[in-house]
């Protein structure tokens, strides 16, 4: 039996949940669908934690968005009574400007955009963070004292729960692949149900290429990413907040965060992994992946030499060719919109994506060129970190 709604949002991750909520707050009847549920373990918005930081090198648009995103996440948590943001600070290990133009560009942006920050010398780092073993390549650091960590899967669930309270209808359902020209009248579920709407917004993350195989099958690249949590020595408070901030080490392609809520120190290598199927891919970590992260952690945090792995997660990025988001209208279906390509850094930006998509859908106007479909190529050349 067909059902009709003003807007149908497919995908209840960070992008989809915030978009559904914003459309509802602008007066539309909205239904939100997800095949596995908000913050599920297959999704790119699943997992325990995600960094929210302002540093984006020369890419001011993401810095501006992140500043607003943090405000909106904190407003949501205050509204729902769920303290799902940890203000750990975010510490960027930096090399010389010639070796590390990214952090120098971030510093310029912080000054220009009035982002709270501190610059630290190598001597400052040794004094403030003696638990971190530095090497001679790290000559300074950039600290964002107001940034930190969002508790990801619970944060997404909080957005969906609040959206439902505000009138969004939520359904757990999958949709079939979609194509065509003109207008999309309805999507089909595996059970044969037809759901029609005036507007469709596909926020399917790593599934976008499956839903639109001809259009996006070779322009969204899901990759396998391994994350590990290491156990702290008993009674050791040096590796939890406030003693240790979240850190990003671009020179080593590594990042991590302190022990939060007793889960252990989180660490991962930020290289794109092999191609991955979000439905059927194995979520068991590899011995090689664990050993690579273990070596980094033992070198950077000597107290964790030989530390046990308490948990490991396999998630995925859904990369675009550049790392810029895909936020655009479908090229042949005029009432269909695409929002995805989080590329490993998108979670924090759910509030801004929701606002951006809602304004595009309801008010029109040009698409930001870097978010357009035509800029998404079939060969990866990562530019956004």
124: Cβ–Cβ under 8 A, 6 or more apart, which residues?
A: 141
Kindly report, residue by residue over 52-67, the tens digit of the pLDDT: 999 999 999 999 999 9
- Whether 316 shows a pLDDT value over 50: the answer reads yes
How far apart are alpha carbons 315 and 322 in whole angstroms?
Answer: 20
- Whether 336 shows a pLDDT value over 90: the answer reads yes
pLDDT-above-90 percentage for the chain: 91
| pLDDT for the residue numbered 385 | 84
- Whether 333 shows a pLDDT value over 90: the answer reads yes
| pLDDT for the residue numbered 2 | 43
**pLDDT classification of 216: cutoffs 50, 70, 90:** very high
How far apart are alpha carbons 74 and 10 in whole angstroms?
Answer: 25
| pLDDT for the residue numbered 99 | 80
Kindly report, residue by residue over 28-83, the tens digit of the pLDDT: 999 999 999 999 999 999 999 999 999 999 999 999 999 999 999 999 999 999 99
Q: Where are the domains of the chain?
A: 3-46+153-220+321-375, 78-149+221-317
CATH number of this structure's domain 78-149+221-317, picked from the four choices 3.30.460.10, 3.30.9.10, 3.40.50.2300, 3.40.50.300: 3.30.9.10
Kindly report, residue by residue over 344-368, the tens digit of the pLDDT: 999 999 999 999 999 999 999 999 9
CATH topology of domain 3-46+153-220+321-375: FAD/NAD(P)-binding domain (3.50.50)
**pLDDT classification of 185: cutoffs 50, 70, 90:** very high
| pLDDT for the residue numbered 383 | 81
How far apart are alpha carbons 1 and 143 in whole angstroms?
Answer: 55
**Whole-prediction pTM value?**
0.96
Of 385 and 195, more confident: 195
Mean pLDDT throughout 6-19?
A: 97
- Whether 3 shows a pLDDT value over 60: the answer reads no
Instruction: Give whole-number Cα distances, 101 to 62, 66, 109, 254, in Å.
Output: 17, 20, 12, 17
Out of 33-37, 95-99, 106-110, pick the least confident.
Answer: 95-99
Kindly report, residue by residue over 273-315, the tens digit of the pLDDT: 999 999 999 999 999 999 999 999 999 999 999 999 999 999 9
**pLDDT classification of 1: cutoffs 50, 70, 90:** very low
């Amino acid at each position: 039996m067909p059902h009709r709604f003003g807007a149908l949002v497919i995908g209840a991750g960070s992008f989809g949940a915030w978009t559904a909520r914003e459309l509802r707050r602008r007066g539309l009847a909205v239904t939100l669908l997800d095949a596995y549920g908000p913050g599920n373990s297959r999704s790119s918005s699943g997992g325990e934690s995600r960094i929210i930081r302002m540093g984006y090198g020369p890419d001011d648009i993401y810095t501006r968005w992140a500043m607003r995103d943090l405000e909106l996440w904190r407003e949501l948590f205050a509204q729902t009574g769920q303290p799902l943001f940890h203000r750990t600070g975010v510490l960027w290990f930096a090399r010389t400007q010639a070796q590390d133009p990214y952090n120098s560009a971030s510093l310029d942006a912080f000054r220009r955009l009035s982002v709270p920050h501190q610059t630290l010398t190598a001597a400052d780092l040794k004094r403030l963070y003696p638990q971190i073993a530095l090497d001679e390549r790290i000559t300074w650091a950039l600290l964002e004292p107001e940034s930190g960590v969002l508790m990801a899967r619970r944060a997404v669930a909080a957005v969906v729960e609040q959206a439902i309270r505000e009138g969004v209808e939520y359904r757990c359902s999958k949709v079939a692949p979609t194509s065509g020209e003109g207008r999309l009248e309805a999507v089909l579920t595996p059970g044969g149900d037809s759901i029609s709407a005036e507007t469709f917004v596909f926020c399917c993350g790593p599934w976008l290429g499956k839903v639109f195989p001809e259009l996006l099958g070779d322009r969204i690249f899901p990759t396998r990413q391994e994350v590990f949590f290491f156990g702290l020595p008993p009674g050791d408070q040096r590796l939890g907040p406030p003693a240790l901030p979240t850190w990003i080490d671009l020179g080593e392609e590594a990042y991590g965060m302190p022990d939060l809520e007793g889960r252990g120190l989180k660490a991962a290598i930020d290289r794109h992994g092999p191609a991955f199927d979000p439905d059927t891919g194995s979520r068991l970590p590899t011995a090689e992946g664990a050993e690579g992260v273990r070596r980094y952690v033992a070198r950077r945090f000597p107290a964790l030499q030989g530390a046990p792995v308490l948990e490991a997660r396999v998630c995925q990025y859904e990369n675009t060719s550049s790392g810029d988001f895909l936020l655009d209208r479908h090229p042949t279906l005029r009432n269909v919109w695409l929002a995805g390509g989080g590329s490993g850094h998108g979670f924090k930006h759910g509030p801004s994506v929701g606002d951006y998509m809602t304004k595009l859908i309801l008010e029109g106007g040009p698409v930001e060129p870097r978010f357009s479909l035509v800029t998404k190529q079939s060969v990866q050349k990562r530019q956004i970190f």
